[in-house]
Amino acid sequence: EAGVAQSPRYKIIEKRQSVAFWCNPISGHATLYWYQQILGQGPKLLIQFQNNGVVDDSQLPKDRFSAERLKGVDSTLKIQPAKLEDSAVYLCASSLVGSQDTEAFFGQGTRLTVV
């Protein structure tokens, strides 16, 4: 079974530039999560999709972050403009359904460095 695919793996940008991350979840997984993990901390949920609808985006800094999941499959997360404090690993995860007892699968993450 193919896992969650993310790209790029690494990205370095200057502050105020824009950046986009892509996630392809496991086929058939209805729930998709984007997490931000700052060095030394646990991942923080940015946004959760159920199919192509948003379930939770309460911690997404909407003035600069946006995410979409067109057609309920792939998802993109965009930052515009980036700030130094956005340097982190951005993780995508998916699960079959959005219930607690469904296992989540994680991608390798995209390591973003804002300079």
Partner 1 sequence: KNEVEQSPQNLTAQEGEFITINCSYSVGISALHWLQQHPGGGIVSLFMLSSGKKKHGRLIATINIQEKHSSLHITASHPRDSAVYICAPGGGADGLTFGKGTHLIIQP
Binding residues for partner 1, rule: CB under 8 A, are 31, 33, 35, 37, 40-45, 48, 50, 55-56, 89, 91, 93, 95, 97-111
Computed on alpha carbons and rounded to an integer, the radius of gyration of the chain in Å comes to: 13
Q: Across the chain, which distance is largest between two alpha carbons, in Å?
A: 40
Residue 9's alpha-carbon distances to 21, 54, 98, in angstroms, are 9, 25, 26
Q: Alpha helix (H) ranges present in the chain? A: none
Q: How far is the CB of 90 from partner 1 (least distance, A)?
A: 9
When the beta carbons of 72 and 81 are compared against partner 1, the nearer one is 72
| Exposed/middle/buried for residue 96 (C-beta within 10 Å: 0-12, 13-18, 19+) | middle
Q: How far is the CB of 83 from partner 1 (least distance, A)?
A: 20
Q: How far is the CB of 21 from partner 1 (least distance, A)?
A: 12
When the beta carbons of 5 and 81 are compared against partner 1, the nearer one is 5
When the beta carbons of 45 and 81 are compared against partner 1, the nearer one is 45
